[in-house]
């Protein structure tokens, strides 16, 4: 096969100059990677697994690059490596340079759109973009300027028709999948990042929606100052594939092809795997390099059906064997495309005059972030019926049940145990109902994790805003429950005693809510979270001093320190001030 000579350095410099003249500013992002290898170490002396093997390439502004390959080929691993989001248990070697310099590619330089659309379903499209803008844009920008930026982003992403529509959740009908994907992209381009990564932006979309999403990305790449866009994609349609400028084709962590997407068909044809007419090039490429079914093909190789297919097709397209993949890898190593890539990488690595403009992350002050998160959380909690309103109704029903069961039990000797049981029910089982908010916690933690990785805000401001926004609902929950049970059971009369009981219940619920938030951080699975949370609260009940009195608890571990860090034990102790004189004497004796 004839190999074309590599372009001279002057030609590459001319290409850069032409890019600048086409509207790409000197602050654009030129990303290169050289001999990038990612391995998964095996602990215990086992062999390591190589996910990427010596990949090299580059991405330029004003162009959109597609990373393609079959499942398990290393698409997401390469994307995460370039975006600085590689998992901590993986080891990366090689050079990743931005405008000729090694630097950490975090949220200050890039924007990353995840495959899953993690959005707050109770907000409208405009509200979602507006809150994201307030969290990230400088605090000195006026409200009018923020609204103008939001309107421009909505217009750029084609979201005008659904701007005032709720995104939707489990009980609210919302926008379509394509609109959610465009909204996810809109949230990341608010700060005008020059480097944009997307993990399978067309996943789960129909062909029309996928085409529109990629067309929007094409416009983003070519418009303005020229942005560098890199996305992983599994199996695009022929119309979508035609929109890509550059192509990275991977198989089992190896480079099958890197270069201009339009020249990939020529490369496969020169290698002996010509793409038949009227066939999607992307489908053809994946059929040639997918070796997942080699064993199945080997067992059928002698069947008449396979032979008929080979004769009718005239090629090995329907027989994706390991030999095909090895031949393509070897042909690429000695092809003109590889030489062009090496020459371009050398030129971009020596860039000195291009200064990258840092525009990602958040530029808002801490106080503005706090106020914005409080407003957003309050709106989310008030609109989501299952977050607090349903639990408030359940609490009131349970309080009415407990109040009628222990209605005016009196102050006699027989009533002492009944009053203690009522106190245990209020402090234990009613606060246990806060575990019902775990599904909402899971969704909120997903949003927090995504926004924290993108640098929108920190952990401290999120915790404080969540507590402040949930406090009014907890107060309503505690006051309504305490008012019903306190008056029906006839606890110790007096407004301050009632207020004491309400604060006691409020403190118990707040502790359980906080514990479930901690569980949601470590166990992001709904079923496992409920099991862990219920087990934790079960331990609290066992050592609270109700089922077994405090002096009878084993001193090691259960009495010291568990009973002293147990919120339920303190809540039960406070009930001695809410009952009659006889019950107070009983609590004193205990």
| Phi/psi at 63 (5° precision) | -130, 150
Each residue's pLDDT expressed in tens, for the chain with a length of 590 residues: 333 444 444 444 444 444 433 444 446 789 999 999 999 887 766 678 889 999 999 999 999 999 999 888 899 999 999 988 888 889 999 999 888 888 766 555 688 999 888 999 999 999 999 999 999 888 888 889 999 999 999 998 889 999 999 998 877 788 988 899 999 999 988 888 889 999 999 888 888 889 989 998 998 888 766 789 999 998 899 999 999 999 999 988 999 999 999 999 999 999 888 888 888 999 989 888 876 655 555 555 555 555 554 444 444 444 445 778 888 888 999 899 999 999 999 888 887 655 555 545 567 888 999 999 999 999 999 998 888 998 899 889 989 998 898 888 877 777 777 877 787 788 777 777 777 777 888 888 889 988 888 888 888 899 899 989 999 999 999 999 989 988 888 887 778 888 888 888 888 888 888 888 888 888 767 788 888 888 888 888 778 777 777 777 888 888 888 888 887 777 777 655 555 444 443 344 33
Across the beta sheet with 91-98, what order do the strands follow? 49-59, 31-40, 91-98, 101-102
**pLDDT reported for residue 338:** 92
- Position 131 scores a pLDDT of 94
pLDDT number for residue 291: 65
Helix (H) or strand (E) holding 442: helix 438-453
Question: What local confidence, expressed as pLDDT, does residue 312 receive?
Answer: 46
418 and 496 Cβ atoms separated by less than 8 Å: no
pTM of this prediction exceeds 0.85: no
Q: How far apart, in whole angstroms, are the C-alpha atoms of residue 244 and residue 574? A: 68
Phi, psi of 166 (to 5 degrees): -65, 145
- Distance, in Å, from the CA atom of 528 to the CA atom of 525, rounded to the nearest integer, reads 5
**125-136 vs 366-383: helix axis angle to the nearest 10?**
160
Is 581 exposed, middle or buried, given 0-12, 13-18 or 19+ CB atoms closer than 10 A? exposed
Closest CA to 447 of 244, 232, 105, 169: 169
The predicted-structure confidence for 23-66, as pLDDT tens digits, reads as follows 444 467 899 999 999 998 877 666 788 899 999 999 999 999 99
- Cα-based angle 217, 229, 93 (whole degrees, multiple of 5): 155
* Angle formed at CA 555 by CA 554 and CA 559, multiple of 5 degrees: 90
pLDDT tens by residue, 527-562: 888 888 888 888 887 787 777 777 778 888 888 888
Per DSSP, the residues of 360-387 read -S--S-HHHHHHHHHHHHHHHHHH-III
- What pLDDT score does 151 carry? 94
Residue 180, pLDDT score? 92
Assess contact for 228 and 63: CB atoms under 8 A: yes
Give pLDDT, residue 586: 39
Distances in Å between the Cα of 133 and the Cα atoms of 147, 328, 363 are 9, 46, 10
């Amino acid at each position: 096969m004839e190999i074309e000579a590599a372009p001279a350095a002057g030609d590459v410099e001319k290409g850069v100059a032409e890019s600048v003249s086409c509207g790409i500013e000197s602050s654009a992002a030129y990303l290169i990677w050289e001999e990038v290898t990612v391995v998964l170490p095996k602990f215990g002396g086992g062999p390591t697994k190589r996910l990427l093997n010596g990949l090299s390439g580059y991405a330029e502004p004003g162009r959109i690059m597609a990373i393609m390959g079959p499942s398990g080929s290393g698409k997401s691993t390469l994307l995460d490596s370039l975006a600085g989001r590689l998992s901590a248990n993986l080891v990366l070697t090689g050079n990743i340079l931005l405008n000729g310099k090694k630097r950490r590619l975090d949220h200050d330089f890039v924007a990353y759109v995840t495959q899953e659309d993690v959005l707050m379903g109770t907000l409208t499209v405009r509200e979602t973009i507006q809150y994201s803008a307030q969290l990230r844009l400088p605090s000195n920008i006026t409200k009018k300027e923020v609204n103008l930026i939001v309107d421009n982003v909505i217009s750029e992403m084609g979201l005008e028709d659904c701007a005032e529509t709720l995104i939707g959740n489990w009980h609210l009908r919302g926008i379509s999948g394509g609109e959610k994907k465009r909204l996810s992209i809109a949230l990341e381009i608010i700060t005008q990042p020059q480097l944009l990564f997307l993990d399978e932006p067309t996943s789960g979309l129909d062909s029309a929606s996928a085409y529109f999403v990629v067309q929007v990305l094409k416009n983003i790449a070519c418009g303005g100052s020229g942005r560098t866009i890199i996305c992983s994609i599994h199996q695009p349609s022929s119309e979508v594939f035609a929109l890509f400028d550059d192509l990275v084709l991977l198989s089992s962590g190896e480079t099958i092809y890197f270069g201009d997407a339009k020249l990939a068909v020529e490369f496969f044809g020169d290698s002996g795997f010509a793409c038949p007419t009227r066939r999607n090039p992307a489908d053809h490429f994946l059929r040639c390099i997918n070796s997942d079914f080699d064993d199945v093909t080997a067992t059928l190789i002698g069947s008449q059906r396979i032979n008929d297919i080979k004769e009718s097709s005239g090629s090995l397209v329907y027989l994706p064997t390991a030999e095909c993949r090895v031949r393509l890898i070897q042909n690429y190593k000695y092809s003109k495309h590889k030489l062009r890539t090496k020459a371009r990488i050398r030129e971009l690595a020596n860039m000195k005059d291009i200064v990258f403009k840092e525009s990602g992350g958040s530029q808002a002050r801490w106080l503005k972030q706090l106020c914005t998160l409080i407003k957003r959380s309050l709106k989310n909690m008030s609109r989501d019926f299952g977050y607090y309103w349903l639990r408030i109704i359940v609490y009131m029903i349970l309080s009415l049940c407990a109040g009628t069961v222990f209605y005016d039990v009196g102050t006699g000797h027989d009533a002492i145990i009944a009053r203690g049981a009522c106190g245990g029910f209020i402090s234990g089982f009613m606060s246990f109902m806060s575990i019902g908010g775990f599904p909402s916690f899971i969704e909120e933690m997903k949003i927090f994790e995504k926004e924290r990785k993108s640098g929108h805000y920190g952990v401290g401001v999120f915790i404080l805003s969540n507590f402040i926004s949930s406090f009014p609902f907890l107060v309503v929950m505690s006051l309504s429950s305490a008012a019903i049970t306190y008056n029906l059971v006839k606890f110790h009369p007096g407004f301050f005693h009632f207020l004491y009981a309400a604060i006691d219940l409020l403190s118990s619920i707040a502790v359980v809510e906080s514990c479930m938030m901690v569980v949601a951080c470590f166990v992001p699975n709904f079923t496992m979270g409920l099991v862990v949370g219920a087990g934790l609260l079960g331990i609290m009940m066992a050592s609270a001093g109700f089922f077994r009195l405090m002096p009878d608890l084993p001193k090691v571990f259960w009495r010291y320190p568990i009973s002293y860090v147990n919120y339920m034990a303190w809540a039960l102790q406070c009930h001695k001030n809410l009952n009659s004189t006889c019950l107070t004497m009983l609590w004193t004796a205990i």
